[in-house]
Amino acid sequence: MAFELPKLPYELNALEPHISQKTLEFHYGKHHQAYVTNLNNLVPGTAFEKSDLETIVKKADGGIFNNGAQVWNHTFYFMQFSKKGPKTPTGNLAKAINEEFGSFTAFKEAFTKAAATLFGSGWAWLVKNKSGKLEIIQESNAGNPLRSGHTPVLTCDVWEHAYYLDTQNRRPDYLVNFWEILDWDIIGKRF
Amino acid sequence: MTSLAQFTQPELPYKYSDLEPYIDAATMEIHYSKHHAGYVANLNNAAKGTAIEKMSIDELITKIDGNTPAGVRNNAGGTWNHTFFWESMAPKAGGEPGGNLGKALIAQWGSLDAFKAEFKKAALGQFGSGWAWLVIANGKLSIVSTPNQDNPLMPVTSVSGTPLLGIDVWEHAYYLKYQNKRADYVDNFWSVVNWNKVEARFKSSSK
């Protein structure tokens, strides 16, 4: 069965002015789509022909991993946005963030730093580790925390294509905007 | 006493708009005055008070191994690679490499088109950020790629050789004009390659 590009639960202009429609047209319509297409071209005839996406992310290497993980990462990234959800964590996730980082503000600072300092292309992640504690990690390129047994909770794409049309070299400006469109109901359910 | 910056950013050998329409002026301006300048500034900060401060950028590049701090490795690479990249291009350039370099490329790959196809494959195959290079080692030409701001001259990389030509495939090098179409950027790169410079590098490598 072929992998498909998931439908976005919002319009391409829904995240304006924080993420422009043009950026989403390329990021979702071209990059995300290309990873799906590439993955579908790569898996036939391999051991992953009948695998689900999560298995590919956990076990594959090379091009199948790169494209499979990028499909997974982008879906996870796009699905965490809305302009309607709560702007701050609630419930158990809020409690865990306070326990681990001291406050939501301190967490935001630490996560932003991880996203800002990741050199080259990649992703910053908030994960629940094997012992149930929250952790911030950086992954290069298509890297995905499922491979190390973590449960992803939140992610920020810091490939330049995620922000270059909007803020060019100013990744920190993109990161300021990033916090404005997160839907903490969705993110809380992942935890 | 004012301390002089050890590592400097050479002036761009042409105007931002000179590589139009293949590389647009906005891309050149941000690439040179923000990205490249940023690497140079960060390198100077990282080098301050260390032995590196007294080295030339060419020397530093050849010393970057597994023990080098990331801040030095990344910013030294970013400093060297971009200077090399600017010099690899020129306005009203492109065309075909002549002389001994042209012969050597044909001898190695069968034809210039085959060489270009192989170079393009390396540029497209570099997943994420990085560079594709034409290098020479022990008189033999080859095409390699490196991630991020690594460079074949760094002992830390898995490839080696003296670069003759390099293409930046970080998305910042092409995104404003080409967006997701890295292949179009690579195709157009040939219209601005400064073969005279590449040929000069080839000559000095075979001395």
Candidates B30, B129, B131: best to mutate against A (most CBs of A within 10 A) is B129
Compute the distance between CA of residue B134 and CA of residue B152 in angstroms, rounded to an integer: 10
Residue type, B191: S
CA A178 to chain centre: 11
| A160/B147 touch (CB, cutoff 8 Å), yes or no | no
The answer to whether residue A120 neighbours chain B at the CB level (below 8 Å) is yes
CATH domain B24-207 topology:
minor pseudopilin epsh fold (3.55.40)
Nearest to A140 among B74, B128, B172 (CB): B128
Q: What is the DSSP string of B91-144?
A: TT--S---HHHHHHHHHHHSSHHHHHHHHHHHHHHS-SSEEEEEEEETTEEEEE
Q: What is the mean pLDDT of each run of 10 residues along chain A (191 residues)?
A: 93 97 98 98 96 98 98 98 93 97 98 98 98 97 98 98 98 98 97 95
Nearest to A169 among B35, B74, B129 (CB): B35
Task: Indicate left, alpha or beta for B94 from its phi (over 0: left) and psi (-120 to 50: alpha).
Answer: left
Band of the pLDDT at B1, cuts 50, 70, 90? Answer: very low
The answer to whether residue A51 neighbours chain B at the CB level (below 8 Å) is no
Compute the distance between CA of residue B202 and CA of residue B134 in angstroms, rounded to an integer: 10
Candidates B29, B31, B127, B184: best to mutate against A (most CBs of A within 10 A) is B127
pLDDT in tens, A139-181: 999 999 999 999 999 999 999 999 999 999 999 999 999 999 9
pLDDT in tens, B135-160: 999 999 999 999 999 999 999 999 99
Compute the distance between CA of residue A116 and CA of residue A119 in angstroms, rounded to an integer: 8
pTM: 0.96
Residue B163, preceding bond cis, omega within 30 degrees?
A: no
Comparing alpha-carbon positions, the chain B residue that sits nearest to A162 is: B171
Band of the pLDDT at B207, cuts 50, 70, 90? Answer: low
Show me where the domains of chain B are located: 24-207
Number of Cβ within a 10 Å radius of residue A131: 6
| A161/B171 touch (CB, cutoff 8 Å), yes or no | yes
